[in-house]
Amino acid sequence: MVFKPNRVLCIFLDILYILLLYIIFYYFKPKYPHAHQGVFQKLPATPAAGDCVLTGRTGHAGGILLKFRRPHVDKKEYRNHTEYTEDMFTTSSDTHTTALDKEELRGFARSLAELQWLLLILVILYFFIPTRPITDNDSMVVIMSGYAIFILLFRYLGFQKHETRMKLAVETWIMIGFITLILSNTGLVNSPLMNLYLLVIIASAITLGKIMTLLEVILIASCYLYLGYMEYSVGVFSPETFTALMAKFSPFMLVAYVTSMLSSDILQAKRRITRLSQTDELTGLLNMRAFNTLLDTEIARVARDSKPFTIVMIDVDGLKHINDCYGHTACSRLIKNVADAISNNVRNTDVLARYGGDEFVVLMAHTSTEHAHMAAERIRAAIQDTSFEMKGNSISTTVSIGIASFPDSVADASEVLDKADIALYKSKQGGRDRVTYYARELEPSVPVCS
């Protein structure tokens, strides 16, 4: 088949545009925030004197503040800890959204595969029952066969095992090329199959977002003008012809705009629901559902590389007495103050969650009992110094803290949380306002049943 120079130029420009789409999507693809983004506190403006500070990136969480005193930890330990906790925090925080995103992408991929087969079936039906003459039957057969082979190879024969948005984008580009080739044999801009472009637009709006949908609409518009050029030659740019073509194309742009806006609103609502399901309403901290997911990830990690980690459990002392004397409002305010005090005394790489009504829990990755004990004492002292005025009364509280570490005091990583709870109970029994770390001697005696 011999191409005319102007047709070769049009095809070359289309190829360049597709490459431009790839570059834009690769370097400027949107980064979806983690479901718990914003839960962790920002770094203090100025660290305390004598603290060793090291900043770095932890996903979307910002910098890392390591508040260990220089005499106890050297720079090499800081670097090792930072690298490990960055990796743990990023990987663990991705657990929520990555699992959801993967499931979402698999659903999109299944829907897009069905859409591709639907597109092919519609074209085959038109091939056997055309409403306008087909210019080249042999070309149509080759195009349909080639597209069917592409679907089988790309979608079902493991061309790319993991679903990605880039893979979905490539599939929509191939759909656009397939539709354009079909239209070139079924009437060009007057083809009854012109509305097949709507399938691509809707699929792109749902799966790829507003920016990619806009770019794909531009690509479709370029293909549409190319078909118009094949129909009218240079006359396609005359005011009358160009206006008529754009009037026929305007519904495509309207559908793209409405669909992408609705999809964006649905996605934002879904993210808000996800965030609410993983955070505590009063304190803004992670709830136990989110914390347990992160803890399971950390337990799986230490099973591979045996890195230490520590659980710190914190219980507010005398909350019932404050509730009886000053009411629920004072209780809620006190819990919020305690949460803020804890947040200000843990690292950004530590995972802090509200465990229950008056209990909090902290997961400290790559942290031994000794360093966790220092952090727990800072937390205890900070809360002891925290108070607020209500109805002319100064309200303050203390906390009891229990610590358990793997592998320092607990051999089984899956039991660290339970052992920290035992240590917390001993702090309560021992008079409250104290820190207790777990040891085997703290285990309660179990009565033997007859």
**pLDDT tens, N- to C-terminus, the chain (450 residues):** 443 445 555 555 556 555 555 554 554 444 433 333 333 333 333 333 333 333 333 333 333 333 333 333 344 444 444 444 444 444 344 444 455 567 777 778 888 888 888 899 999 998 888 888 888 889 889 999 999 888 888 777 765 567 778 888 888 899 999 999 999 999 888 899 999 999 888 888 888 888 888 888 889 988 998 888 888 887 877 888 888 888 888 888 888 888 888 888 887 887 788 777 788 888 888 888 888 888 888 888 888 887 888 999 999 998 888 888 888 888 888 899 899 999 998 888 889 999 878 899 999 888 877 888 888 899 999 998 888 888 778 888 899 999 998 888 888 888 888 888 898 988 888 888 888 888 877 776 544 344
pLDDT of 210 reads 81
Q: Residue 406 pairs with which residues in a beta bridge? A: 309
Signed CA dihedral, 172, 177, 182, 183: sign only: positive
Are 259 and 355 members of one domain?
A: no
Q: Which of 278, 296, 311 is the last residue of a domain?
A: 278
Could you give the 3-state DSSP secondary structure of residue 131?
Answer: coil
The reply to whether omega before 447 is within 30° of 0 (cis) is: no
Rounded-to-integer distance, Cα 290 and Cα 264, Å: 25
In a domain, 445, yes or no: no
Q: Is residue 39 part of a domain?
A: no
Q: Which two tokens stand for residue 421?
A: 């709870």
Is 52 part of any domain? Answer: no
Say yes or no: 225 and 356 in one domain.
no
Same domain? 354 vs 324? yes
Handedness of CA 224, 229, 231, 232 (dihedral sign): positive
pTM of the complete model: 0.56
Is 392 within a domain? yes
Question: Domain range for residue 352?
Answer: 288-439
319 and 387 fall within a common domain: yes
Q: Do 308 and 233 belong to one domain?
A: no
pLDDT of residue 94: 42
Q: Does residue 450 form part of some domain?
A: no
Shared-domain flag, residues 187 and 312: no
Closest CA to 365 of 56, 90, 43, 98: 90
Q: What is the pLDDT of residue 46?
A: 34
What does the alpha-carbon distance between residue 200 and residue 210 come to, in Å, rounded to a whole number?
13
Contacts of 251 (CB under 8 A, 6+ apart): none
Q: Number of folded domains in the chain?
A: 2
171 and 313 share one domain: no
Hunting for tokens 């199959």 — which residue is that? 193
223 with 358, same domain: the answer is: no
Sign of CA dihedral 425, 426, 432, 435: negative
How far is the C-alpha of 315 from the C-alpha of 324, rounded, in Å? Answer: 18
**222, 256, 278: which is the final residue of a domain?**
278
CB-based burial of residue 64 (10 Å sphere; 0-12 exposed, 13-18 middle, 19+ buried)? buried
Q: What is the pLDDT of residue 183?
A: 92
Bridge partners (DSSP) of residue 315 are: 359, 400
Report helix, strand or coil for 443.
Answer: coil
Choosing from 278, 308, 337, the residue where a domain stops is 278
Q: Is residue 314 part of a domain?
A: yes
